[in-house]
């Protein structure tokens, strides 16, 4: 049986390995000239590590990761809004891996069957019967996995009436600093803007920031970050000083409204193509990894592609849409900017018991294959 996977990001590459391990002949079509990821960090929560373990890749990731969770949420001046007991978090759910995106892409590309990765091929159209029209011609397959990201051409061609991604109301910056030690990773919330950072295994620091802004607002990059966050608590100003101008990535944050199905005939949507979510829980890529492992497992245990895809839709849609909703809620509260609302929010966060934090994470992190 042959599967064409469209998109060679984290979701597509993971799907290639998961399906190949179950005996599928796979081909990954990627429009970029190389299989690469943006220069930023990525948190892989225990649920994602369990998905990678199912493919025998978890330990390779752990070797290239810093296994540590963020220590909590602070205000712009540095006082704690909520402090995470990272030992307790790990005891309950397992450890969190902080990796550079390039490293996970390397590991996933190396795990895919040799000769299965075709870079520089752009897909233009897909038909529900598994016909794929692309820049090198036409291909057909028993299964087409659409892992082509938030603006998925597959979704648009098979489901022309599906909703389009919508702007979340805030924009984001990501960067990796020069190596510098930090005591612990945290996220800090101000009024209408947030910044977070986490150490990477090679001593560099992955930083990200958000700010409420009209869609499409241009940014001056590091200069704007200095103006917004330069007087926040240490080490934020020091992290900005350790960042090169050209290391700053800037993107508006979009999310996909819930779809009514992830499958049609021979097509399965996976990862951001199915459920692009705001990054507030650090779960987008984690969910793409889960999708890939679940899809391959269901196909292996089913006597037809059609029934496996139906089960995949039932297994994945409620879970991923629940996580997307939670991420949205956290993002909107995190972006509040009215001073009275921020005072109330901060007071509530200081009073919230740790048990409510663990309870909210349990359905997300307790997942296993």
Ligand X SMILES: Cc1cc2nc3c(=O)[nH]c(=O)nc-3n(C[C@H](O)[C@H](O)[C@H](O)COP(=O)(O)OP(=O)(O)OC[C@H]3O[C@@H](n4cnc5c(N)ncnc54)[C@H](O)[C@@H]3O)c2cc1C
Q: Would you say 46 or 284 has its CB closer to ligand X?
A: 284
Q: Is 320 in the site for ligand X (CB under 6 A)?
A: no
Residues 263, 81: Cα–Cα separation, whole Å: 42
Q: Is 282 in the site for ligand X (CB under 6 A)?
A: yes
Task: Determine the interface stretch with ligand X among 111-119, 177-185, 213-221, 276-284 (rule: CB under 6 A).
Answer: 276-284
Instruction: Give me the least distance between CB of 175 and ligand X, in Å please.
Output: 11
Instruction: Give me the least distance between CB of 155 and ligand X, in Å please.
Output: 10
Q: Is 168 in the site for ligand X (CB under 6 A)?
A: no
Q: Would you say 192 or 271 has its CB closer to ligand X?
A: 271
Quick check: 312 and 294 in contact, CB under 8 A?
yes
Determine how many CB atoms are found less than 10 A away from the CB of residue 303.
7
Q: Is 190 in the site for ligand X (CB under 6 A)?
A: no
Instruction: Give me the least distance between CB of 28 and ligand X, in Å please.
Output: 9
- In this structure, what is the dihedral angle of CA atoms 153, 252, 109, 116, given to the nearest 10 degrees? 10
For strands 25-30 and 117-119, give the pairing: parallel
For strands 2-6 and 143-146, give the pairing: parallel
Residues 58-87 that bind ligand X (CB under 6 A): none
Instruction: Give me the least distance between CB of 350 and ligand X, in Å please.
Output: 25
For the record, the structure tokens of 159 come out as 């489901």
Q: Would you say 302 or 332 has its CB closer to ligand X?
A: 332
Instruction: Give me the least distance between CB of 135 and ligand X, in Å please.
Output: 8
Site string for ligand X, 24-43 (x = CB under 6 A): -----xxxx---------xx
Residues 310, 308: Cα–Cα separation, whole Å: 5
In a 13 Å sphere around the CA of 338, the CA atoms on its Cβ side amount to: 5
Q: Is 169 exposed, middle or buried (0-12, 13-18, 19+ CB in 10 A)?
A: middle
Interface pick for ligand X out of 222, 285, 292, 298 (rule CB under 6 A) = 285
Residues 316, 318: Cα–Cα separation, whole Å: 6
Task: Determine the interface stretch with ligand X among 7-15, 76-84, 87-95, 342-350 (rule: CB under 6 A).
Answer: 7-15
Q: What is the DSSP letter of 194?
A: E
Q: Would you say 10 or 299 has its CB closer to ligand X?
A: 10
Residues 142, 194: Cα–Cα separation, whole Å: 45
Alpha helices in 58-130 (DSSP H): 58-63, 86-93, 101-111
Q: Would you say 33 or 351 has its CB closer to ligand X?
A: 33
Site string for ligand X, 98-137 (x = CB under 6 A): ------------------------xx--------------
Residues that bind ligand X (CB under 6 A): 6-12, 29-32, 42-43, 122-123, 147-149, 153, 172, 174, 208, 251, 271-272, 279, 282-286, 288
């Amino acid at each position: 049986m042959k599967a064409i996977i469209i998109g060679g990001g984290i979701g597509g590459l993971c799907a290639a390995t998961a399906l190949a391990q179950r005996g599928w002949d796979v081909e990954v079509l990627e429009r970029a000239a190389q299989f690469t990821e943006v220069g930023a960090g990525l948190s892989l929560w225990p649920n994602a590590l369990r998905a990678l373990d199912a493919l025998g890749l978890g330990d390779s990731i752990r070797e290239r990761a810093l296994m540590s969770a963020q220590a909590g949420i602070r205000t712009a001046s540095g006082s704690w809004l909520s402090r995470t007991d990272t030992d307790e978090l790990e005891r309950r759910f397992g450890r969190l891996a902080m990796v550079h995106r390039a490293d996970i892409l390397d590991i996933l590309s190396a795990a895919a069957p040799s000769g299965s990765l075709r870079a520089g091929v752009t897909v233009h159209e897909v038909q529900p019967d598994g016909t794929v029209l692309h820049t090198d011609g036409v291909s057909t397959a028993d299964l087409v996995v659409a892992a082509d990201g938030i603006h998925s051409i597959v979704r648009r061609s098979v489901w022309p009436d599906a909703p389009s991604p919508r702007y979340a109301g805030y924009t984001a910056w990501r960067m990796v600093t020069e190596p510098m030690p930090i005591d612990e990773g945290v996220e800090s919330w101000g009024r209408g803007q947030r910044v977070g950072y986490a150490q990477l295994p090679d001593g560099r620091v992955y930083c990200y920031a958000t700010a409420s802004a009209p869609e499409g607002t241009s940014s001056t990059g590091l200069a704007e970050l200095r103006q917004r966050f330069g007087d926040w608590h240490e080490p934020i100003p020091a992290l900005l000083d350790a960042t090169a101008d050209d290391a700053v990535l800037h993107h508006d944050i979009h999310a996909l409204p819930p779809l009514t199905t992830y499958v049609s005939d021979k097509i399965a949507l996976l990862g951001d193509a199915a459920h692009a979510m705001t990054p507030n829980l650090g779960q987008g890529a984690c969910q793409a990894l889960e999708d890939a492992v679940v899809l391959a497992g269901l196909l292996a245990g089913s006597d037809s592609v059609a029934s496996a895809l139906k089960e995949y839709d039932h297994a994945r849609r409620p879970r991923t849409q629940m996580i997307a909703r939670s991420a949205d809620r956290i993002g909107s509260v995190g972006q509040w900017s009215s001073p009275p609302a921020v005072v109330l929010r901060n007071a509530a966060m200081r009073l919230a018991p740790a048990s409510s934090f663990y309870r909210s994470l349990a359905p997300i992190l307790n997942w296993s294959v």
